[in-house]
Amino acid sequence: MKAEWEEQAATWLALPINEQNWASRRERINTFYSKLIDTISRFQPVKILDDLKIPHDDIWIRDYGPFFVEDKIVSYEFNAWGEKFPPWNLDNEVPDKIANLMKIPIEKYSWILEGGAVEFNGDGLCLTTAPCLFGEKRNSKEKEKEFLNDLQKSFGIKSLKILPKGLDGDHTDGHIDNLARFVAKNHVVMAEGFEQEKKEIEIWLGEHYESAKVDVLSLPPILPASYMNFIFVNGGLLVPIYNCKNDSAALEYFKKIFPDREVIGIDCTTPIEEGGSLHCLSKQEII
C-alpha cells in the first residue's frame, strides 16, 4: 500500500444524498462540497460516485471505498462502524462497483475494516488502533491471528503498530486518521494529549529507521474534530479548519512540515456535525 503523499490519479468523493443527515443542512453542505471539488480539481481529477451512477448510503467513502493497491483493488467488509448507523448495504457494494467500472481485479476479504482505521507509510509500516480492529460487532479477538495475517498480506505490511485507543468521542471508536498520520516514511504527526502513544510510536519507528521523528501538534482537538484529518493532493495539502482560534496555528504548523506543498484550509464545520472531516469523506486513487 503506497503512502498518500505519492502521486495520485484522482480523489474519490460521494455526494451528501442522505436526507436524514443532510436535509436540514442542505445549503451549507452543498456549498462545502462545491468548494471542496473546486479546490481538489486545481491539483488533480475528482471522481464522484454519483456522476458514475454508483449508489451509496452516505459520504464517508474513506471507510467503505476501495483500497487502491498497485494494479488491483483490495476490499474489506463495511458495517457502519460496528452496525451503529444503518443502512450500509449500498456503501458495502461500492468497491465491487468501482472495480467493475474500472475493469481492474478486486481482492476481497470478509473481515470488517474501515479505511480511516489504517495509516500507511508506503514502506511497509502501518498504524492502527485496537478498538477499530476488535471493537464490538467488528472482528473476533479469537480469530486475531488469522485476521492480522490477512491484513498484512493484503497491504504488504512488514510491521503493524496497534495503539490502544484513538480520540475519545469519535463515533468510529477511535480511527487512527484523527490521531496520528505519517507525513514521511519515518515521520509521524499526532494530536495533543497522547504521551504514551507518542512514546510507543517513537520506539516503533526507531526500530526501523535511524532517523525517526514524532511531532505533536500542540493544539487540543475539538472533539470529535481533529486537524489530523488532512488530505494530500498532488502538490498540495488540504487541512480541515473549524472556524476557531486554533485554525491559523494549525495551518502554520503544516506549512512548516510541508514547505514544498500548497497548504489550504478548508472550513469543515458542516461535515464535522456528522462526525467526520476531509480524510473521512475522500479516498485517494494511487495505481
Widest distance between CA atoms in the chain: 52
The confidence score (pLDDT) of residue 170 equals 81
Whether 3 is covered by a domain: the verdict is: no
CA distances from 267 to 65, 74, 241, 257, 282 (A): 23, 31, 5, 20, 15
Whether 57 is covered by a domain: the verdict is: yes
The confidence score (pLDDT) of residue 223 equals 61
Whether 263 is covered by a domain: the verdict is: yes
Whether 258 is covered by a domain: the verdict is: yes
Whether 123 is covered by a domain: the verdict is: yes
Whether 79 is covered by a domain: the verdict is: yes
The confidence score (pLDDT) of residue 221 equals 63
Look at the chain and report how many structural domains it folds into. 1
The confidence score (pLDDT) of residue 246 equals 93
Whether 2 is covered by a domain: the verdict is: no
Q: What is the CATH number of the domain that holds 256?
A: 3.75.10.10
The confidence score (pLDDT) of residue 218 equals 87
pLDDT at 150 over 80: yes
Mean pLDDT of 188-213: 95
Helix intervals (H) in 42-171: 61-64, 80-83, 89-102, 130-134, 144-155
pLDDT at 1 over 70: yes
Give the three-state DSSP class for 282.
Answer: coil
Averaged pLDDT score across all residues of the chain: 95
Q: Is 180 left (phi over 0), alpha (psi -120 to 50) or beta?
A: beta
pTM score, whole prediction: 0.96
Give the three-state DSSP class for 234.
Answer: coil
With bands split at pLDDT 50, 70 and 90, how would you rate the model's confidence at 224? low
Whether 5 is covered by a domain: the verdict is: no
> Containing domain of residue 277, as a range?
10-285
The confidence score (pLDDT) of residue 171 equals 85
